[in-house]
Amino acid sequence: MATDTMTKPVIDGGTTKTRVFKNFIDGEWVESNSGETFEDRNPADTREVVAIFQRSNKADVDGAVDAARRAFAKWRLVPAPRRAEMVFRAAEILIERKEEHARDMTREMGKVLKETRGDVQEAIDAAYYNAGEGRRLFGPTVPSELPNKFAMAVRQPIGVCGMITPWNFPMAISSWKLLPAIVCGNACVIKPAQDTPLSTFNLVQALTDAGVPRGVINVIAGYGPEAGAPLTEHPSVRAVSFTGSSAVGRTIGTTAAKSFKPCSLELGGKNPMIVLDDANLDLAVEGGLWGAFGTTGQRCTATSRIIVQKGVYHKFVDHFVARAKKIRVGNGLDETVEMGPAVNEKQLTTDLNYIEIGKNEGAKLITGGNRLDQGELQHGWFLEPTVFIDVDPKMRIAQEEIFGPVVAIIPCEDLEDAIAIANNIEYGLSSSLYTKDVNKAFAAVRDLEAGITYINAPTIGAEVHLPFGGTKATGNGHREGGIGAVDFYTEWKSIYVDYSDTLQKAQIDRGE
């Protein structure tokens, strides 16, 4: 067992034994070749071990990829509608297990129950959507330039797909990757984040119970350098999908490029919410609070910058700060709690370091900024909802992704100034604008440099049937969700059928 234990585990629910999970390879539960395990602990109460997982290595990756490669040979020949029916059945199973899986997720990741229920629901929604795609893997038929010749293009699966998922949406993002991939006929090896493997295992169990054959989906738990890197480097892995930090994504993208593998990267964000003078201020305040402090700010789409026109700046700040001070922080299993902990000590330390950076830069810390470690919170990684005001757009807290409940409020002159501030960033994931002026709304939709733009809503809340992703350092142009996922997990094959019974030489022989 790993040596990074803290204290004796608290056993949840009166059980007498902590659950131990093996890797899931070729339809079997197997121990890691390393002989080592690691603990999945509750960030709200680190005394509790939620479960124990295998600490996988290259040999485990090799076994999982070999299993996926063998399964792909048969799975690609299963008609897409049949593949999709299994995904539909998985959605029905997830509905039955929704509360159980939500509670597991809150215990391993920390976010409150209403959010983990939403995370499971997103996986359900993704399953229903992708089940429909099994009958909609459309390709074009086009008129040929020659007589008695038929031309069309079809989608074909790629092969074995390697997937690495983050900890903040441990079931939803796993579903974004796995479900379209298998409906398209691929086989998969997925490595979930070491902080939240249980939710991915729960999703894969539902898919297995729904009839997905052995080897089509394989799960290995472990750490990035030991298991993630060998997965992205494996020569039999034909495509890689990664969601996580820009630094790691840059490494994975470079590795994939060496062997010409398609590589989907969904990376960081520093998302602006613009509030104009004519906005519904109460709505903007509520939206900003949800966008900034939902999931403890641990979303790539989190509202980390709020850019407010000077005519309503002070009124917005007063209302926003008053509400932020009332947010109840605690264990997400408590239905009255509004914000949970940071996912681990490292993330909490990052949050606290950026708070010091903001103060040193001259931003005004108007509320929050402190670790909460008294009473019931003493065993968790809790932080106060934190608000900086009068922030200069060039400050690090306004430029760098923090990934915590820390928001920077920035004054602006008008819409043009706000858009300039919003765009002056290396990221381009999500953005939003609060206004009652339809002309300004459409100008912002056109001019904001982001993959997602909301009008009169915060920067969070994407739906599974539209493409998800961003511009600039947020990714490499691919999209998850909707048709974007189908595009990534398939390759085009163009087909020409000449029934003229003569040799036609295309552009050379036009019959002129």
Q: Between β-strands 271-275 and 430-434, what pairing exists: parallel, antiparallel or unpaired? A: parallel
Judge whether 300 counts as a catalytic residue: yes
Distance CA(61)–CA(189), nearest Å, equals 8
24 within 8 A of 218, measured Cβ to Cβ: yes
Give dist(CA 181, CA 60) in Å, integer.
21
Q: Which residue has the tokens 């131990």?
A: 20
Give the H or E element holding residue 265.
strand 263-266
Q: Which amino acid belongs to residue 101? A: H
Task: Tell me if 179 sits within 8 A of 126, measured CB to CB.
Answer: yes
Residue 20 DSSP SS3: strand
Q: Are strands 237-243 and 452-455 parallel, antiparallel or unpaired?
A: unpaired
User: Is there a contact between 93 and 209 (Cβ–Cβ < 8 Å)?
Assistant: yes
Q: Report the amino acid identity of residue 133.
A: E
Of the candidates 184, 188, 263, 300, the residue annotated as catalytic is 300
Quick one: tokens of 123?
Answer: 């996986």
Q: Do residues 23 and 58 touch, judged by C-beta distance below 8 A?
A: no
480/466 Cα distance (integer angstroms)? 8
Distance between CA atoms of residues 29 and 194, nearest Å: 18
Please state, in angstroms and rounded to a whole number, the distance separating the CA atoms of residues 431 and 426: 14
For the CA atoms of the chain, what is the radius of gyration? 24
Q: Would you call 266 a catalytic residue per the annotation?
A: yes
What is the rounded distance in angstroms from the CA atom of residue 224 to the CA atom of residue 239? 17
Q: Using the 8-state DSSP alphabet, how is residue 430 labeled?
A: E
Annotated active-site residue in 226, 233, 266, 384: 266
| DSSP-assigned letter for residue 413 | S
First-last CA distance in the chain: 77
Q: Which residues are catalytic?
A: 266, 300
